[in-house]
Amino acid sequence: DSGVTQTPKHLITATGQRVTLRCSPRSGDLSVYWYQQSLDQGLQFLIQYYNGEERAKGNILERFSAQQFPDLHSELNLSSLELGDSALYFCASSVEAGGPPSSGELFFGEGSRLTVL
Amino acid sequence: LAKTTQPISMDSYEGQEVNITCSHNNIATNDYITWYQQFPSQGPRFIIQGYKTKVTNEVASLFIPADRKSSTLSLPRVSLSDTAVYYCLVAPTEVTGGGNKLTFGTGTQLKVEL
């Protein structure tokens, strides 16, 4: 158990819909990262938050948005969903904005599997 | 951010030592090298991390040459349960205003057979 909690574990929805994925980081971790992993693909970095502020953006679509709340949990909002958005969405946390190495590692949740029909 | 290159796949047999090499030619002075393991439908899990020379823990060793342009993850005496994707990640140590796009490469699919 990494200590990072993601909900829901599975989600099935239709094209055009909107969903929200939730992540609770490990206790004490200030930084949250979101990744997308499509079938047989690598991990695509989406966005990073540190202590409530956006710090880095990767290949995140304009239809996607995220935020980190004062209690440090984070949400990833996916709207106008398309078939190609079907993927595993992972959240990871670390102590510091810089990630490794002083904190030692990124801790990943078990992911939220999104299926768009 | 340093780009990494790894072999797409490797095959091995139980009991053998497996070495997976990652190239990171434009690694920066303050970058560390971290390896992760991922099983299907699970989040990646930290294996080992290093800066230079050799690091060893209870599950693996990490060899980093003096020029740091590559690194090799060594898994001693693999078993079937080591079948997974292994990712090399090169990450800066400094906290910057721009944050850190901790981008993973394509990873190496290791298949261990009897």
Q: Across all residues in chain A, what is the average pLDDT?
A: 90
Please name the residue of chain A whose CA is at the shortest distance from the CA of residue B91: A100
Question: B106: pLDDT confidence band, cut at 50, 70 and 90?
Answer: confident
Q: List the single best residue of B64, B71, B102 to mutate versus A (max A Cβ within 10 A).
A: B102
CA of A40 vs chain B CAs: smallest distance (Å): 9
Q: Taking the alpha carbons of A53, A100, B36, A44 in that order, is the dihedral positive or negative?
A: positive
pLDDT confidence band for A95 (50 / 70 / 90):
confident
Q: Residue B98 has what pLDDT?
A: 59
CA dist B113 and A37 (Å) reads 26
Residue A16 sits at the chain B interface (C-beta within 8 Å): no
Give B102's pLDDT tier (boundaries 50, 70, 90): confident
**Angle, vertex CA B36, rays to CA B30 and CA B38, nearest 5:** 155
Of A58, A91, A19, A11, which is closest to residue B99 (Cα–Cα)? Answer: A58
Strand order in the sheet with B53-56: B18-23, B70-75, B61-64, B53-56
Indicate whether A56 pLDDT > 60: yes
First-to-last CA distance in chain A?
31
| A62-72 average pLDDT score | 96
Residue A23 · residue A4 · CB < 8 Å: yes
Dist CA A116 CA A21 (whole Å): 14
